[in-house]
Amino acid sequence: MRLTSKHLFWLKVIIHLVALWPIGSLVISVMAGDAGGDPVQYIIHYTGIGALNTLVILLMISPLARRLKQGVLIQTRRLIGLYVFAYASLHILAFISLDLLFEWSLLFQEILKRPYILVGAVAYLILIALSITSFKVIRKKMGRRWQQLHNWVYLVAMLVPIHFYWSVKSEVIEPSIYILIVVGLLSLRLSVGKKISQTISRLRLKLSSQ
């Protein structure tokens, strides 16, 4: 079945439901006392994993759209990207409010003491820039610079799993799996990009020889 622009509305409805369901589940778990022995760390970890999972899904959109020949999927990237930002914002808000209790001086001390926080902060600053410039009006004004800026999502994709890996003390299997997944997705996009550029070069050579 070939998806068209007519299906885009329902695709976005499904994305909203899938993205919001874990947040609702988190609220229910916390209120029911099912957030483990340390609810604060549970919330911080939960929202961080939510941001990472959504980021992985975002990276999968383009390869899936090409593989399945469903171009309309490309039009869902902005919405999914905004949910990456939303989960990352909840993650940082939980850390600052619940763990540090808005003690900003402690935040700078934590950054100096724990470099993985700095890595996460850099990734979040990039996400802020990507989210602000995701609107069509700003995209048109930026022109080619828009794509150059939004290519920084690949840097975010590398920084976030590293942030996760450094944040854990002993259980490195889960973050290691995420690192492998992200490396695989980025490698896939790189190989596809090379094929496209090679095809364009061949077409240019043919046109120039005619």
Do the Cβ atoms of 94 and 51 come closer than 8 Å? no
Alpha-carbon distance 35 to 51, whole Å? 18
| Domain count along the chain | 1
Enclosing H/E stretch for 132 = helix 115-132
Question: What pLDDT does residue 122 have?
Answer: 94
| Distance between first and last Cα of the chain | 39
Residues 6+ apart with CB under 8 A from 29: 35, 42
Q: What is the DSSP string of 199-210?
A: HHHHHHHHHHH-
* Contact criterion met (CB below 8 Å) for 124 and 98: no
The residues near 69 (Cβ < 8 Å, ≥ 6 apart) are 2
The pLDDT assigned to 197 comes to: 45
Q: Which residues of the chain have pLDDT under 70?
A: 190-210
Amino acid residing at 79: L
Q: What is the pTM of this model?
A: 0.87
**pLDDT value at position 191?**
59
CB 51 within 8 A of CB 82: no
User: In this structure, which amino acid lies at residue 22?
Assistant: P
Residue 134, domain extent = 5-209
User: Residue 4: what pLDDT?
Assistant: 77
Half-sphere exposure of 66 (CA within 13 A, CB side): 10
Residue 168 has a pLDDT of 87
